[in-house]
Amino acid sequence: MARTVRFHELGGPEVLRLEEVPVGPPGPGELLIRVDAIGVNRAEALFRGGDYIEAPRRFPATLGAEASGVVEAVGPGVTGFEPGRAVSVVPGFSMNDYGVYAERAIVPAAAVLHRPDGLDAVRGAAVWMPYLTAYGALVEVGGMRAGDTVVLTAASSSVGLAAIRVARRVGAVPIAATRTRAKAERLRAAGAAEVVVTGEEGVRERVLALTGGRGAEFVFDAVAGPGVLELAGAVAPGGTLLMYGALSGEPTPYPGFELGMPALNMRTFTAQEITTDPGRLRRAEAFVTSGLSDGSFEPAVDRVFGLDEIADAHRYMEAGTQVGKIVVAVRH
């Protein structure tokens, strides 16, 4: 038996229950992991509330796609892992099939990476989703390179902070966008070349001024909704608006026609474009591990909760005041 977070109906953080659930042996292609820490992501709150890109297929439902821990057992056909190996689980599966909000969890081996030496459990649960998302969208898919400018919305999120560091590492110029001045200095300290306070100034006007009227080669947006009209106006000719989230919860218009049909690329992105493609995941793992090794990358942990505080962790995430990653440390 293992303490496992489940929910029996859609709703807010109050629907989360910590229950004793049996855990069997891993099947073909699977690993049994002793979970030491869990990375909390917005996708899990959306899944819990029925607002994610997929809905729970059955109840009780499980949660969680990012964690760190130690391999306890190896399923048939799995190679490259052995009991006792420190690992991280990355979001490479549906939460309808697997969940890591638990003391012990079965996960697909294809979604497990060796945890680099020197990376403890909490940081091992905070590093992969942010950096895989930022690298995957901007470098692997977008082709960001030295000299490019990238505008980052929700810049104080774990993905936003990772994107600042990824941009810096390839020689690009990160411009962070944040709603108030409360987080501006912390974003500059994290490496943002400039900070746009969207509650006080327009993104388009500020970005065009900062780039000599050219605009940004990339806008990396977690918000979507009607604000894409403003963001698209800040994109350079031939540039790309990448949307990896929909925090606004509002319909997202296509801005091309309203803006006079500029040379605008616009696409959505999820981390699973990287985590479910072995070649892309291999390149991403090498890029992130290299950055961790030379100090260019660092997991940004905002606050750590206990497993019995999972509902509080979700409430804290939904309040939106964090700078970096929320992690749940699992007690054994």
The ranges assigned to domains in the chain are 2-127+299-329, 130-270
What is the fold of 130-270?
Rossmann fold (3.40.50)
For the segment 155-167, the average pLDDT, to the nearest whole number, is: 94
CB atoms within 10 A of CB 74: 19
pLDDT tops 80 at residue 265: yes
CB atoms within 10 A of CB 49: 16
Is there a contact between 271 and 133 (Cβ–Cβ < 8 Å)? yes
For the segment 292-308, the average pLDDT, to the nearest whole number, is: 93
Q: The whole model's pTM is what?
A: 0.92
Structure token pair of residue 97:
């099939």
Give me the pLDDT at residue 41, please. 92
CA distance to 87, 154, 207, per residue, from 198 (Å): 39, 11, 11
pLDDT tops 80 at residue 332: no
CA gap 237, 230 in Å, rounded: 15
Strands 104-108 and 30-40: antiparallel
Segment among 156-160, 193-197, 246-250, 287-291 with least mean pLDDT: 246-250
CA distance to 11, 81, 113, 128, 161, per residue, from 153 (Å): 27, 38, 28, 19, 10
CA distance to 38, 129, 163, per residue, from 304 (Å): 10, 17, 22
Domains 2-127+299-329 and 130-270 alike in fold = no
- Select the CATH number that applies to the domain covering 2-127+299-329 from these four: 3.10.310.70, 3.30.420.60, 3.90.180.10, 2.60.40.10: 3.90.180.10
Among 105, 136, 174, 166, smallest CA distance to 300 is for 166
Give me the pLDDT at residue 331, please. 67
**Which amino acid, one-letter code, is at 259?**
L
| Helix or strand run (H / E) with residue 204 | helix 203-210
CB atoms within 10 A of CB 9: 11
pLDDT digits (tens, 9 = 90+) for 20-60: 999 999 999 999 999 999 999 999 999 999 988 889 999 99
CA gap 109, 217 in Å, rounded: 36
Judge if the upstream peptide bond of residue 299 is cis by omega within 30 degrees of 0. Answer: no
**Which amino acid, one-letter code, is at 63?**
L
Query: Would you report the helix, strand and coil content of the chain in percent, each value rounded to 5?
Result: 30, 30, 40
For the segment 257-265, the average pLDDT, to the nearest whole number, is: 82
